[in-house]
């Protein structure tokens, strides 16, 4: 019987801890006598045949590194059925029996199409700083991104207090409230604006003035990036022109996606990479490694293809209550 041959790729935005998942996949595969190939630059690289055989040293000294050694991309070509026909032909020509995809809900939708249209075995590992995939309580990278943002906001608070200033601090989250809410609660922000919130400028001003009336020296408003990064500048303009309130803007941007993964991200990614390979050996696909009730386990791929902002939305009330 021929040796089982698995491939893996990262897709969508990178996230700290992806390298830990890659390492765990490669080492578990090799431990079990499987052949393993890394595909560079996600689905786009797959279509270009960017295949690299992986051995123990390909994943040496990467556990502490942010980003992804396989690199990543978003591929419009793969989103079309013809692109996926080509992808499956390429995978089969390489003798690959199964594909592991590390990414977000968009990447999982691509994997699901490979299974639905071609019955190509796929297993997903959730990796995105947004923590917004259905079917899992956690996605690799979230805690590290939150920690990075908290550190930045704490520094901004120092200078905001010294100068008695208001800051709008914009964090990532095109459609996800998770980073904004957790950072807002953990930094004692005076206000948290979610990605699709219609901005209530009057409320922002009232909240700040109420704080000032009881001697507060600084205000931090956490703004989730929303569909277009930089929305804080528009809010700043309205606050100035309509309410004569000066606010400074700090956009944290991609600094939140880089950096060395924290222990939780390393630990969960290691468990997920290990489980993904075991799952393939047991021919249990299409599945996704998820966190449920705090434990790493499996869900069906079908359950993990939606964007889910509900994991964190329950903390909106907490953020509001603690910021009075």
User: Which parts of this chain interact with ligand F6P (CB under 6 A)?
Assistant: 13, 128-130, 172-174, 225, 257
Q: How far is CA 284 from CA 125, 264, 268, 298, in A?
A: 14, 26, 20, 10
Q: Which is nearer to ligand F6P, 13 or 135 (CB)?
A: 13
Cα gap 255→66, rounded to integer Å: 11
Q: Give kind and range of the element (H or E) at residue 20.
A: helix 18-31
Q: Which is nearer to ligand F6P, 260 or 300 (CB)?
A: 260
Query: Least distance to ligand F6P from the beta carbon of 300, Å?
Result: 24
Q: How far is CA 171 from CA 105, 149, 181, in A?
A: 20, 7, 10
Structure-token match 């998820």, residue found: 290
Residue whose CB is nearest to ligand F6P in the complex, by number: 13
Q: Give kind and range of the element (H or E) at residue 221.
A: strand 219-224
Q: Which is nearer to ligand F6P, 133 or 299 (CB)?
A: 133
Query: Least distance to ligand F6P from the beta carbon of 210, Å?
Result: 31
Decide: 140 and 127 in contact? Cβ < 8 Å: yes
The reply to whether 105 belongs to the active site is no
Decide: 305 and 52 in contact? Cβ < 8 Å: no
Query: Catalytic residue among 130, 207, 265, 309, which?
Result: 130
Are β-strands 35-39 and 51-53 bridged in parallel, bridged antiparallel, or unpaired? antiparallel
CA 278 distance to own-chain centroid: 24
The DSSP call for residue 103 is E
Q: Which is nearer to ligand F6P, 157 or 257 (CB)?
A: 257
Active centre residues (catalytic): 130
């Amino acid at each position: 019987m021929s040796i089982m041959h698995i491939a893996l790729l990262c897709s969508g935005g990178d996230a700290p801890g992806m390298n830990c998942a890659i390492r765990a996949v490669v080492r578990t595969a090799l431990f079990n006598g499987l052949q393993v190939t890394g595909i560079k630059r996600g689905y786009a690289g797959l279509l270009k045949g960017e295949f690299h055989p992986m051995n123990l040293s390909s994943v040496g000294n990467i556990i502490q590194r942010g980003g992804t050694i396989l690199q990543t991309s978003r591929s419009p070509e793969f989103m079309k059925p013809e692109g996926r026909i080509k992808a499956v032909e390429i995978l089969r020509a390489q003798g690959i029996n199964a594909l592991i995809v590390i990414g977000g809900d968009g990447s999982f939708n691509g994997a699901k199409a490979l299974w639905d249209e071609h019955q190509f075995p796929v297993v997903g590992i959730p990796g995105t700083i947004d923590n917004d995939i259905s079917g899992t309580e956690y996605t690799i990278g979230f805690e590290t991104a939150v920690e990075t943002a908290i550190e930045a906001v704490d520094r901004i608070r120092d200078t905001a207090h010294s100068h008695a200033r208001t800051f709008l601090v914009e964090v990532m989250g095109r459609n996800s409230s998770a980073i904004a809410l957790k950072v807002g609660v953990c930094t004692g922000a005076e206000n948290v604006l979610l990605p699709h919130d219609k901005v209530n400028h009057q409320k922002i001003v009232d909240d700040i003035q109420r704080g000032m009336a009881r001697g507060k020296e600084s205000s931090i408003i956490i703004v989730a990036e929303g569909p277009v990064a930089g929305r804080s500048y528009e809010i700043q303009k309205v606050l100035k022109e309509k309410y004569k309130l000066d606010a400074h803007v700090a956009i944290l941007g991609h600094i939140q996606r880089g950096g060395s993964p924290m222990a939780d991200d390393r630990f969960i990614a290691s468990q997920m990479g290990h489980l993904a390979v075991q799952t393939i050996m047991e021919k249990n696909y299409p599945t996704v490694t998820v966190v449920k009730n705090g434990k790493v386990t499996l869900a069906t791929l079908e359950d993990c293809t939606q964007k889910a902002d509900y994991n964190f939305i329950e903390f909106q009330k907490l953020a509001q209550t603690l910021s009075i």
